[in-house]
Amino acid sequence: MNHHFVRRRFALATVAACIASAGLLSGCSKVPDTIKIGVAQPLSGPLASLGQDLLNGVQLAVQELNQSGFSVDGKRVTLEVVSVDDKADAATGKAVAQQLVDAGVVAVIGHLNSGVSIEAAPVYAAKNIAQIAISTNPRFTQLGLPTTFRMVANDTLQARAIGSFAASQLGASRYAALDDGTPYGKGLADGAAEQLKAEKKEVVVRKSFDDKTTAFDELAAELKAANVEVIVSTLNDFQALALLEALRKVGHTKVNLLGGDTIKTTDMAKATGMVDGVFATSPVLEAREFTAGKPFLEKYIAAYKKPPAYGGHYSYDSTYVLSAAIQKAKSADPADVTKALKSINGYAPVTGTMTWDDKGEQRYGAVGVYQLRGGAWELRMRSDRW
């Protein structure tokens, strides 16, 4: 008798038995050989270096997991990254989200920008696909979707951190709050101003600009006339530098500037010594601040020949926690994986732990306050309470 025929008939019979018992408890694995993880980030345009960094973090984790013999429900599987460019644009984000859904991804690490994450969220939710984003606008997790997860603390905590640090650590009585007109910047500045008022501090100047303005002579004169001692700002780094230059021209430099993520850049080093102090807050803590940060940085630099630009360690950690959720679910079905993410207290190799509340907010997300010293950002304090 033809042994090849017998083997083939036996294999077909096994497949038939699996199909027949679908929906029943059976020994047939529903786990595919390859599990796809989607990544949606800006990979072109001015934010490309940040998006590439977040993609790098995922790729590094996937490479390590595959090398370690990753298995689900006793079956060896290969993890595969499916990457798309959202161009930091909401409409593009929605379109590429649909591409990832069609590609059959089990979950998505994306997006960087809040506006893009919010627009894409219903596309993933329609197919029960978990979306793990580094976006910080509170609206993302207030959409009422079961699939939204945030990697870091949100802007509500950051606004409290800005207001609280400005009120308690910078010991002044007259404050200004300035924003760049974006949903991120306006919301953050409003929240910081509210916190200052709650701590009995006076906001004597409150102004909105767009995110491109650099003509600040009039504003500098107004800040001087109002005798502002602390400027709380969500302007971009190049705008903050232009403002400090304008303040220097009118001789009003005995001030402290406290900003958000948009000034925590290497370019801001140019502000060293221009005013009394320059501070920035960020929910994206640096890899070097964590005990396990050093080995991660060594691996990352060996792989990409440069240090992380932004949050590569958070996307790396998210991938490890996601892989643990897939193992916990014993399934590559997005709904099962989303359910497992809801209840997991995941081991995050760099930052320690990732666990979410019922809305998808990070339970232990912290905000750090940094001071510009000698041309570099130094951590002053960090907290998850503020």
Say yes or no to pLDDT of 31 above 90.
yes
Pair (375, 249) in one structural domain: yes
Does residue 12 lie within any of the structural domains? no
Say yes or no to pLDDT of 109 above 90.
yes
Report the alpha-carbon distance of residue 251 to residue 30 in Å, rounded.
70
Q: Which residue has the higher pLDDT, 369 or 187?
A: 369
What is residue 5's predicted lDDT score, i.e. its pLDDT? 42
Does residue 20 lie within any of the structural domains? no
Pair (313, 270) in one structural domain: no
Pair (197, 236) in one structural domain: yes
Report the alpha-carbon distance of residue 316 to residue 312 in Å, rounded.
6
Q: Compute the residue count for the chain.
A: 386
* Beta-bridge partners for 372: 377
Does residue 141 lie within any of the structural domains? yes
Pair (252, 315) in one structural domain: no
Pair (187, 295) in one structural domain: no
- CATH assignment of the domain containing 332: 3.40.50.2300
- Tell me the three state secondary structure of residue 296: helix
Please provide the distance, in angstroms rounded to a whole number, between the alpha carbons at the two ends of the chain. Answer: 77
Residue of 282, 252, 248 whose CA lies nearest to 370: 282
Distance of CA 267 to the CA centre of its chain: 21
Q: Summarize pLDDT for 296-340 with one digit per residue, the tens.
A: 999 999 999 999 999 999 999 999 999 999 999 999 999 999 999
Dihedral of CA atoms 198, 199, 205, 209 in degrees, nearest 10, equals: -60
What is residue 211's predicted lDDT score, i.e. its pLDDT? 87
Pair (182, 47) in one structural domain: no
Pair (48, 148) in one structural domain: yes
Pair (275, 163) in one structural domain: yes
Does residue 232 lie within any of the structural domains? yes
Residue of 236, 113, 228 whose CA lies nearest to 175: 228
State phi, psi for 27 to the nearest 5 degrees.
-85, 0
pLDDT band at 29 (very low <50, low <70, confident <90, very high): low
Give the structural domain span for 269.
Answer: 156-282+368-383
What value, to the nearest 5°, has the Cα angle with vertex 348 and ends 347 and 352? 90
What is residue 89's predicted lDDT score, i.e. its pLDDT? 95
Does residue 14 lie within any of the structural domains? no
- Tell me the three state secondary structure of residue 370: strand
Pair (200, 292) in one structural domain: no
Does residue 3 lie within any of the structural domains? no
What is residue 28's predicted lDDT score, i.e. its pLDDT? 58
When the pLDDT of each residue in the chain is averaged and rounded to a whole number, the result is: 92
Pair (319, 338) in one structural domain: yes
Name all contacts of 141-145 with Cβ < 8 Å and 24+ positions apart: 141/359, 141/360, 141/361, 142/359, 143/118, 145/121
State phi, psi for 369 to the nearest 5 degrees.
-115, 130
Q: Summarize pLDDT for 223-245 with one digit per residue, the tens.
A: 999 999 999 999 999 999 999 99
Residue written as token pair 């240090």: 307
Q: How many CA atoms lie within 13 A of 224 on its CB side?
A: 16
Does residue 23 lie within any of the structural domains? no
Q: Which of 29-33, 137-141, 257-261 has the lowest mean pLDDT?
A: 29-33
Pair (254, 166) in one structural domain: yes
Q: What does the DSSP 8-state code read for residue 362?
A: B
Pair (102, 163) in one structural domain: no
Does residue 68 lie within any of the structural domains? yes
* Core vs surface per residue 176-213: b (16+ CB within 10 A) or e: bbbbbbbebbebbbbbbbebbeeeebebbbeebbebeb
How many domains are there within the chain? 2
